Amino acid sequence: MEFKPHKIEWSGEKSARIWDYYSSNHHYRNNFFGLQVGHLIASYIYQSIPLTPSAKILDFSCGMGDILEQLINKSKSHYTFYGTDFSEKNVEYVTRRFKGNTKFKGIKFLRDLPSELPDNEFELVLLTEVIEHLTDEEINGTLSEIYRVLKPGGFVFITTPNKEIYEAGEQLCPDCGCIYHRWQHLRVWDRVSLSIYVEKFKFNPFIVKELNWTSWKSKILTFYKKREKGGLVYIGQKPKN
């Protein structure tokens, strides 16, 4: 095989390969965003978004259900929880993980969009650490789908890295020369670009914030350090009328 450095052309099949590998290797699994900070995500959502006592909450592309677990565990109301994912392995895993949990109402395996989910069904839809992995076509389909399934007045909750230094995440395969982002990121977002893109889909901004997902102990330890905000949160609301 001739060694020739070249940029990867991501496809659904290639993405599935790398994420199936990461999911099956516990050394990578421990780095998953939801596993590390899912408890902080759940607390932030419940403190920031005014949900009704019987809200239906959907984790869109929920992966292995780490954030769902924290949302369920921290739920103090009569919320019900749902998931979707494009990986059959993840759907099977999440189904087993929440078997018998009365607050969890199931996960749908998605092959394409729009899905069979009903219109105007959910009060909150999460899209955590997903949007940086998507092509333009996939982002448009995903945001259109989320808008469709949200109730009027419902909220979308999006997280993504903020102003990521993309090249710092790239690596090269010494065998074939393929250069790719180790976490399969396709693009970099900041507060302005994410707001402009999401609001093309008729969402009204509710909260747009740069922040670090750290515990209060970590915040105390780094209080005097000037650090770039590593995370970005966008909460948008579907118009009520």
Query: Does 209 map to a domain?
Result: yes
Range of 84's domain?
6-237
Query: Does 221 map to a domain?
Result: yes
Query: Does 216 map to a domain?
Result: yes
Question: What SS3 class is residue 184?
Answer: coil
Mean pLDDT of 114-119: 96
Determine the pLDDT at residue 92. Answer: 95
Burial degree of 9 (CB within 10 A; 0-12, 13-18, 19+): exposed
The per-residue pLDDT for range 206-219, each reduced to its tens digit, is 999 999 887 544 44
Query: Does 143 map to a domain?
Result: yes
Give yes or no for a contact between 187 and 163, defined as CB atoms under 8 angstroms apart. no
Average pLDDT score, the chain: 91
The per-residue pLDDT for range 26-80, each reduced to its tens digit, is 888 888 899 889 999 999 999 999 999 999 999 999 999 999 999 999 998 899 9
Q: What share of the chain is helix, strand, coil (3-state, %, to 5)?
A: 35, 25, 40
Overall domain count for the chain: 1
Query: Does 1 map to a domain?
Result: no
CATH number at residue 129: 3.40.50.150
